[in-house]
Amino acid sequence: MNVPAPEAPVIISQSVTDIYSAGATLKAAIKANDLPTTVTFEYGTSLSYGNSVASIHDPIYKTENNVKANIASLKKDTTYHFRAKAVNSDGTTYGNDMVFTAKLGLREAYGGGFIIYLDDSGEHGLIAAEIDQSEGIIWDNGTNCKKTNVTAITVGSGQANTTRIVAILGLGNYPAKICDDLVLNGYSDWFLPSLQEFDCIWKNLSASEQKYNLKGQFYWTSSEVIVSESTQSCYAWAQSIYTGEQANWWSKDNNTPYVRAVRAF
């Protein structure tokens, strides 16, 4: 019976994901050729690399396996080089040099909260506060139903919506006012998100991850619902943080969704 001769490992592919301003995840697919294989990643700001980090599977024994390593302490807007290094008893194999640029990333802790939206430049977007601002409250200030015409739902409309709601409803304790008055982590430019802005929270901040502190089921938005131009509706949009369901909620009865403020940067 012919026994295959031992072979050095093969690096099938390399990639980088979860790139943030101060960190990233390096990945590689390795063919170990049935030998115990140790995989590390070399990285740095030049082809000299200068840094090395072990992969999460060390050693690996399978014929093929996927490995990864998280790196931190990067500098924003800086280009980094990296490659995988696979070692077994028959030799050492290096992957091709690959590059990436550290940049702001979705879900990154930044600017007083967590990034939920980035524009095409990658330098500007929206940040959700790191905690809820209310654990249940009606949408208006408890006065007679007053149409505010804050029906805009798009990304970029939440600040104008909030400003108009507060100007019309005035004093009181209600979602738009709570966000408008908020001072958190050194920032005072918070507002109640529009429907599509809150949708960015739902898409990017998982309610199941405790670090995001999303305690409610439904959350208010600053987007009012107008049934018709001639009638007062007293409905506003709310959204489920678990399912993404968007619903028209009566602003004055026992419907008391939570509140999570956002800010632009």
**Measured between alpha carbons, how far is 231 from 164 in angstroms, rounded to an integer?**
19
Is residue 58 within 8 A of residue 39, CB to CB? The reply is yes
Q: What does residue 201 show for φ and ψ, rounded to 5 degrees?
A: -65, -50
pLDDT of residue 253: 64
Question: Strand 246-250 vs strand 113-118: parallel, antiparallel, or unpaired?
Answer: unpaired
Among candidate residues 137, 249, 119, the one with its CA nearest the CA of residue 197: 119
Q: What are 17's two structure tokens?
A: 């994901």
Among candidate residues 138, 180, 144, the one with its CA nearest the CA of residue 163: 180
Q: What are 137's two structure tokens?
A: 């409250």
Q: Tell me the pTM.
A: 0.79
**Measured between alpha carbons, how far is 5 from 88 in angstroms, rounded to an integer?**
13
User: Token pair 């008893």 is at which residue?
Assistant: 89
Residue 102, class by beta-carbon neighbours within 10 Å (0-12 exposed, 13-18 middle, 19+ buried)? Answer: buried
Is residue 125 within 8 A of residue 118, CB to CB? The reply is yes
Is residue 97 within 8 A of residue 83, CB to CB? The reply is yes
Tens of pLDDT, residue by residue, the chain (265 residues): 555 566 899 999 999 998 999 999 999 999 988 889 999 999 999 999 999 999 987 455 555 689 999 999 999 999 999 999 999 999 999 999 999 999 999 999 999 999 999 999 889 999 999 999 999 999 988 765 566 788 999 999 999 999 999 999 999 999 999 999 999 999 999 999 999 999 999 999 999 999 999 999 999 999 998 765 555 567 899 999 999 999 988 776 678 999 999 999 9
Exposure class string for 57-94: b at 16+ Cβ within 10 A, else e: beebeeeebbbbbebeebeeeeebbbbbbbbbeeeebe
CATH architecture of the domain covering 10-101: Sandwich (2.60)
Element housing 80 (H / E): strand 79-88
DSSP secondary structure letter of residue 37: B
- DSSP β-bridge partners for residue 24: 71
**Measured between alpha carbons, how far is 27 from 43 in angstroms, rounded to an integer?**
12
Q: What does residue 175 show for φ and ψ, rounded to 5 degrees?
A: -50, -50
Strand, helix or coil at 194?
Answer: coil
Domain with CATH 2.60.40.10 in the chain: 10-101
Q: What is the mean pLDDT of the chain?
A: 91
